[in-house]
Amino acid sequence: MLSPFVQRKVAMAFYKYDQSKNGLLEKEDLLLIGKKVAASFGFKESDSKYQEILEKYTLAWDRYLSAADTDGDGKVSLVEFLEARANMDSSQIEKNLEYNKYMFDCLDVDGSGTISFKEYQISLKALGETNEENIKFAFDSIDTNKDGTISRDEYAKVRSNYFNSEDIEDPSKWCYGAF
């Protein structure tokens, strides 16, 4: 059973991903985010880079998020999403890193192996965060070694804390935008 604080964080992430606002997560939501991100980078539908970004979001659904669809109806309800998070073991670092890979790849639009401030900013804006200061605060708190980029390890750490930490002061709660 997740604590009320963790439930709140999980639900917040769920509703940010639910772009069609029907209360369910579907592949379509991931594609909507991918399309916003691709458009923000100035790519057009006919560009190969645009299709490449959509492919990353498709993989994030197929290989990661859809695993929470336990009743197999093609949609993830909030209950299913909460259950999937409750079953996520923070000690299974390797498994979490593997899951994180698909979300990380979505954010690492240019495939450089790190998430730049611009990549993070565009992703958060696609999820509905518009306040630049909030985005900067979130980015700086994830970039723990202060090299100006988010590494795979830094990203895995913040997602693990987001979905597991009971510390209400921990800034990881900001990783999807203002908390």
Q: What residue ranges bind Ca ion (CB under 5 A)? A: 69, 71, 73, 75, 108, 110, 112, 143, 145, 147, 154
Nearer to Ca ion, 45 or 71 (CB): 71
> d(Cα 4, Cα 52) in Å, to the nearest integer?
38
Helix (H, G, I), strand (E, B) or coil at 150: strand
Nearer to Ca ion, 80 or 129 (CB): 80
Using a 10 angstrom Cβ sphere, with 0-12 exposed, 13-18 middle and 19 or more buried, the burial of residue 77 is middle
Nearest approach in angstroms of CB 116 to Ca ion is: 5
Nearer to Ca ion, 108 or 129 (CB): 108
Nearest approach in angstroms of CB 5 to Ca ion is: 25
Nearer to Ca ion, 109 or 166 (CB): 109
Nearest approach in angstroms of CB 144 to Ca ion is: 6
Contacts for 173-177: CB closer than 8 Å, 24+ residues apart? 173/9, 174/134, 174/137, 174/138, 174/141, 175/138, 175/142, 176/12, 176/13, 176/16, 176/124, 176/127, 176/129, 177/16, 177/124, 177/127, 177/128, 177/129, 177/134, 177/135, 177/138
Nearest approach in angstroms of CB 154 to Ca ion is: 5
Nearest approach in angstroms of CB 150 to Ca ion is: 6
Nearer to Ca ion, 5 or 148 (CB): 148
